[in-house]
Structure 1
Amino acid sequence: MFSAIVSRCPSHFIRRSKSVILASKRWTTHTSDPDQKMKATVLNQEENAGLMIDAYSQVGFRLNNGLSVVGPIAIFPKSVLSWQVSGIQDIDEDSLSLFTILEPKIEILVIGIGDIGNRLDMRMIQYLREKKISVEILPTEAACTTFNFLNDERRYVAGALIPPYALKYREDDMLQAQLKRKKLFQSTADDGEIW
């Protein structure tokens, strides 16, 4: 079961559709000037959409383009790769070298260490700082939200994310799962299929 990030992030991080509309309003003093109206700018058009993480589970991640990726990932604004680590203990200079050789150089690397309480070796942080890469080390849930936010701001960001082992379920998560199951069952019954 995927845990939706949308339900866990602050309201200014929420992405509910493929296009996000940013509205800005200029205040007027009783004028009929047509330029003094509310304007809307569409962010994240389909053709220019950066990758965002919509959900995560114990086995992987679901992206905003519909792709589900199994296991740890190295994610960039326009691409995603399988990251060959089995856990936090496998994060070393060799597994991080990919992030140090990229051109243009990434500004910040967001490392999702899985669950709260996991610790990354301090030598890896020093290694990345020597390579002039800022690093954020967070539990995977917070790392996904941080990656999405920085990517939406068009920063040169990369994510190195390990799926969490422990998942927190909220009432909203359970309700959404029940609604999806009910909708699936109804559509199958409407098609006349019998299980």
Structure 2
Amino acid sequence: MKMHLTQGAQNLFTAYGDGFVAINQEQHHQPLLVMADLLTPWPASSFEALTEDDFAALLAHDPEVVVLGTGPRLRFPHPRLTAALTARQIGVEVMDTPAACRTFNILVSEDRRVLAAILL
């Protein structure tokens, strides 16, 4: 008898494109917060509309690192927006959304407590 360790169900990005991301083969067309065991809408409507509260709300999920997908192009939020995360020594990695999706999948496979904050 062979035994294999299998991980429970977890969220992984399986596709992305213009105006959508797919998680476990299901397409989503709105900003999202994604962890291995969490998938929820993110009330942030756009990069330009991001507030300090949008990032402070991420603390409730106790991430080790936040991967911020800024949409189709890389844009950096003002440091005051992410101050609540950095004050708690939570890493914030900023990249375009396709790169954020790929990075999230790698970090999840390493059993890291990563939170993807995805804008489209």
For the aligned pair, the TM-score class normalised by the smaller chain equals 0.7 to 0.9
In 2: Cα distance, 1:40 partner to 1:115 partner: 42
> Contact 1:109–1:133 (CA<8 Å) still a contact in 2?
yes
> Paired residue for 2:38, among 70, 79, 83?
79
Once the two structures are superposed, the pairs formed by residues 113-192 of structure 1 within 5 Å of their partners are: 113-163=70-120
In 1: Cα distance, 2:92 partner to 2:3 partner: 34
* 1:99 is aligned to 2:39: no
CA, structure 1 residues 155+139, in 2 after alignment: closer, same or farther (shift >3 Å)? same
Which 5+ residue runs of structure 1 have no aligned equivalent? 1-38, 164-195
In 1: Cα distance, 2:85 partner to 2:18 partner: 27
Mean Cα deviation higher: 134-143 or 87-96: 87-96
> Contact 2:55–2:82 (CA<8 Å) still a contact in 1?
no
In 2: Cα distance, 1:67 partner to 1:117 partner: 24
> Contact 2:51–2:81 (CA<8 Å) still a contact in 1?
yes
Tell me which residue corresponds to 2:66: 109
In 2: Cα distance, 1:84 partner to 1:155 partner: 24
Q: Which has the larger radius of gyration?
A: 1
Q: Normalising by the residue count of structure 1, what TM-score does the alignment of the two structures yield? A: 0.55
Between the aligned residues of both structures, percent identity stands at 26
* 1:61 is aligned to 2:18: no
Q: How far 1:56 sits from its partner (Å)?
A: 1.4
Task: Choose between structure 1 and 2: higher strand proportion.
Answer: 2
Which 5+ residue runs of structure 2 have no aligned equivalent? none
In 2: Cα distance, 1:51 partner to 1:59 partner: 19
Q: Hey, which bits of structure 1, 4+ residues long, moved more than 6 A?
A: none
In 1: Cα distance, 2:91 partner to 2:72 partner: 21
